C-alpha cells in the first residue's frame, strides 16, 4: 500500500506547522493508521533551519499529550513538490509563496489548510508575537482541522 505523504507549511516552521505535524501524527497514531502516512512540516523561509519548534509550541503540544520536541525546522525544498501528495499552507501568504515556487504539475497539491480541512478560507494565525493563549488558540484550530482532515484524506488524495 502506498503511503499518503502530507506536508504542513508555515513561514518559519517553528510554530504552526510543527504543531500541525505533531497533532496530525498523534491523531493518525490514535486511529492505528501510522503505516498509511508520511507526515512532515516545513517553512517557506529558512530563518530557523535546524532549530527546535518555539518553546511555547512545544509546551502547548505537551500539555495536550503531543510531543513535538524532536522536530527540527527546515525550509521547503524543490524536491518536496514532487515528494508530497498534499502540501497544506497555514495561511494565504504562505500559499502564495508556495504557488510561486512550485512547478506547474504540483499546483494541484497545494491547498490552504482550513480550506481543505474545514471548507473555510480562514488563515491559521501566526502566534509567534503573542502569548500562551495565542498558541492554545492555534492548537485548538489545528486540532479541529486535523480531526476533520483525517477521515477526508482518502477521497481528497484520489481526487487530486
The residues assigned a catalytic role are 10, 16, 126
Residue 9: other Cβ atoms inside 10 A? 28
Instruction: Of 56, 58, 46, 37, give the one whose Cα is nearest residue 13.
Output: 46
Instruction: Of 10, 12, 22, 7, give the one whose Cα is nearest residue 58.
Output: 22
Are the beta carbons of 6 and 24 closer than 8 angstroms? yes
Distances from the Cα of 82 to the Cα of 38, 121, 126, 155, angstroms: 14, 25, 27, 20
Are the beta carbons of 77 and 46 closer than 8 angstroms? no
Amino acid at each position: 500500500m502506498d503511503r499518503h505523504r502530507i506536508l504542513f507549511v508555515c513561514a518559519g516552521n517553528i510554530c504552526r506547522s510543527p504543531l500541525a505535524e505533531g497533532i496530525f501524527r498523534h491523531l493518525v497514531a490514535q486511529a492505528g493508521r501510522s503505516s498509511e502516512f508520511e507526515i512532515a512540516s516545513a517553512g517557506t523561509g529558512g530563518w530557523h533551519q535546524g532549530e527546535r519548534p518555539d518553546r511555547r509550541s512545544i509546551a502547548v503540544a505537551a500539555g495536550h499529550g503531543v510531543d513535538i520536541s524532536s522536530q527540527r525546522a527546515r525550509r521547503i525544498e524543490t524536491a518536496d513538490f514532487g515528494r508530497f501528495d498534499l502540501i497544506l499552507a497555514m495561511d494565504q501568504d504562505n500559499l502564495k509563496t508556495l504557488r510561486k515556487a512550485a512547478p506547474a504539475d504540483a499546483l494541484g497539491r497545494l491547498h490552504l489548510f482550513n480550506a481543505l480541512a474545514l471548507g473555510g478560507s480562514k488563515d491559521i494565525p501566526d502566534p509567534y508575537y503573542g502569548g500562551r493563549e495565542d498558541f492554545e488558540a492555534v492548537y485548538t484550530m489545528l486540532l479541529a482541522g486535523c480531526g476533520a482532515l483525517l477521515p477526508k484524506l482518502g477521497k481528497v488524495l484520489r481526487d487530486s
